[in-house]
Amino acid sequence: MQTPACRPLAFLLTGFTWLLLASLLGLAILVGMVRGTPLPSWLRLVHVHGALVGGVAQMIMGAMLAFIPPLLMTGQNRPDSRPILFVAVNGGALGMLLGFGFRNFPLVAAGGFVVLTAFLSVASDAWRQARHSLNAPPLNLWFYGLALLALSGGLALGLGMATQFVEPSWYGRARLVHLHLNLLGFVTLAIVGTMHNLLPTILQKSLYSPRLARIVLFMLPAGIVILIIGFSASSLKTELIAGGLLMVGVGLYAFNLFSTWRNSDHAGNAASDHLLIATFFLVLAVLMGVLVAANYLWDPPVLPFGTLHLVAYTHMALVGFVLQTIFGALSHLVPITLAVSRVPSHKKRGPYLEKLTAIVDRWRTVQVGGLSLGTMGLALIATLTWTMPLGSNAVHAATWGTFVLFIIALALFAAKLAWALGTPTPE
């Protein structure tokens, strides 16, 4: 029996397809930049929004649809298939990309509005479930609620920029607020909330400290709010205060997860490897953000900061944290979801699940290493440009090495997902 379309797994796999295509486009943009033959600027907008809206946001929606009913114990009589939401999030993302491609910003705004409406529908449904649940809302749900609130603000500001409702003089600050509300406020809070349950489940060990998780629930949103205030007021000192608060918050989060891993007897697999490395890159990305802001305390800045340096910094978060997390989550969720949906018999489900898990764990060192070293390769390229020209052999060698590492990791993981999906069920 195959998994029906428009269920949570369909959101996860379709989102990964978006992410895979956007990643290939991003690699092409990087190579063109280094070779001195840059691709059209609108392709960057297609790359970013294809990855974040069609890819990451859709996968977070799928995760919410999968996790919220069990957390609230309200999923017994609820429909598992969500075709309208599936069409809305994919149609909205496609509309946005077409709008960027044809410079039709009303179409961009329309696509963004459809995506926003889809997520507000998920939030409304979750609120109704929480009101009728006999369980108190768990910690994860508070993270999801704050994440959806940040997404609403980020998409609303994006709509304002697309419709030219935002004043031109405030456009630069609006872009910073829009980006950080979506990436820090929505993506990061949603992932952090999920990881407090998902990693302990994979490790088969209780979370080291629920109290630390509650502290993180306070510190990260507080830091994000202060950061948005700093961007809005163009106050570098306020941004640095926010960065310090975020640094402490993600440090406590990382300590909690690594302590859970250290206290477990789990041998490790592709899922846990990716999720732990993603946690490391989150800490590194926040630290780099603080250092980038501190660099501008001096005029001129201590270190020149150009386009490639911005690419390296942002992709510590986008690839090192977000993509690693996605690889880890799918490595755990795809085998379990396929086994549960395809094999009704509990007796036969165990061997089938073991077979699927063995598939996604194959060559995990190459997969994890390729993605991690590829991310660090971006930092190496940016660092080399401080002392070498863009056309130097060293910069080109680092670029092609990074390209190959990413291609290996992406192709290997995509092939394993296809292999798992095509694995027949036991007779």
Tens digits of per-residue pLDDT, 203-212? Answer: 999 999 999 9
- Do 147 and 193 contact (CB within 8 A), yes or no? yes
Q: What is the 3-state secondary structure (H, E, C) of 406-421?
A: HHHHHHHHHHHHHHHH
| DSSP secondary structure letter of residue 75 | -
Q: Which residue type does 105 have?
A: F
The token pair that represents 60 in the structure block: 């977070």
Name the pLDDT band for 347 (thresholds 50, 70, 90).
Answer: confident
CA geometry: angle 101, 103, 104, nearest 5 deg: 105
pTM across the whole model: 0.94
Note whether residue 77 is domain-resident. yes
Higher per-residue pLDDT: 113 or 165: 113
| DSSP secondary structure letter of residue 256 | H
* Residue 340, H or E segment: helix 324-342
Best CA proximity match to 379, nearest among 312, 292, 289: 312
State how many domains the chain has: 1
Note whether residue 33 is domain-resident. yes
Dist. CA 179–CA 188, nearest whole Å: 12
- The pLDDT, as a whole number, for residue 2 is 45
Note whether residue 315 is domain-resident. no
Dist. CA 142–CA 234, nearest whole Å: 30
The token pair that represents 38 in the structure block: 């840059």
Note whether residue 308 is domain-resident. no
Note whether residue 302 is domain-resident. no
Q: Which residue type does 339 have?
A: A
Give the chain's mean pLDDT: 92
Note whether residue 61 is domain-resident. yes
- The pLDDT, as a whole number, for residue 134 is 64
- The pLDDT, as a whole number, for residue 97 is 96
Dist. CA 295–CA 311, nearest whole Å: 16
Name the pLDDT band for 66 (thresholds 50, 70, 90).
Answer: confident
- The pLDDT, as a whole number, for residue 126 is 86
R_g over Cα of the chain: 21
Structural domain of 30: 1-137
- State residue 366 phi and psi, 5-degree precision: -65, -45
Note whether residue 133 is domain-resident. yes
Note whether residue 74 is domain-resident. yes
